[in-house]
Amino acid sequence: MCGRFALTLPPEAMVQLFGAAPANDLPELPNWNICPTNAVHAVLSQEGTRRFVSLRWGFIPVWYKSPGDGPLLINARAETIAEKPAFRQAARARRCLVPASGFYEWTKDGDGKRLPWYIHPEGQEFVAFAGVWQDWTSADGLALSTCAIVTTEANEALGHIHHRMPVTVAEPDWGLWLGEAGHGAAVLMRPAPEDLFAAYRVDPRVNSNRAEGPELIEPFDG
């Protein structure tokens, strides 16, 4: 799964890399501890134009009467996304890219203590997670643009940490995932190459969703 991640690149750099027009309400960066329900950066493509926007991380299906009307949907499983009522229309028509410098996962020691790991791409500054998005409006007019990150089974390199991982979309495939290059995006929902990510233990301070600062992604030997 993906339940926490970091993004440290300047928005201006990502605007250039994605070739996307930026919105005015983008979240502040850097952020070393992006949590569910936070606003995240995302790239959409609408009528052939890429937009760099802010989305609430936590997909809200159209039938929810309030944001908390059902489970918090931060991830969408690649294996079932095309059939699940919450996601199937978005998987066809509302796909997005969510940039990340790295993400966190947890293992447990013999006493059940949660041990955080930081997982980041080797030799590059960020990756683009596959996502789906949904506009949601309540009966009293509250409007939210929301998203979920698509996950798949972990590759062998990361399977000892967690059995799931985010789907990553390589730059040559961005247009295909965003719907700019015709059909066939489903083939992208597979584990990342074995050599894409490196992982190391980090400070348990990141176990708190209130923790912040660059030290959260520094190697930890404790």
Which secondary structure element, helix H or strand E, spans residue 13, and what is its range?
Answer: helix 11-18
What's the sign of the alpha-carbon dihedral 56, 126, 194, 104? negative
Name, in order, each residue with C-beta under 8 angstroms of 91's C-beta and a sequence gap of 6 or more: 76, 81, 82, 132
Cite the beta strand spans of 101-176 per DSSP E: 102-108, 114-121, 127-137, 143-153, 164-166
Which phi and psi (to 5°) does residue 176 adopt? -65, -45
- Give pLDDT, residue 178: 97
The verdict on whether 105 is a catalytic residue reads: yes
The verdict on whether 2 is a catalytic residue reads: yes
Domains of the chain with bracketed CATH: 5-217 (3.90.1680.10)
- Give pLDDT, residue 32: 97
Residue (of 153, 149, 152, 151) closest to 131 by Cα position: 149
- Give pLDDT, residue 221: 84
pTM above threshold 0.85: yes
Catalytic residue among 2, 47, 171, 180: 2
Catalytic residue among 47, 83, 105, 156: 105
Q: Walk along the chain (222 residues) and give the pLDDT tens digit of each residue.
A: 689 999 999 989 999 999 999 999 999 999 999 999 999 999 999 888 999 999 999 999 999 999 999 999 999 999 999 999 999 999 999 999 999 999 999 999 888 889 999 999 998 999 999 999 999 999 899 999 999 999 999 999 999 999 999 999 999 999 999 999 888 899 999 999 999 999 999 999 999 999 999 999 999 986
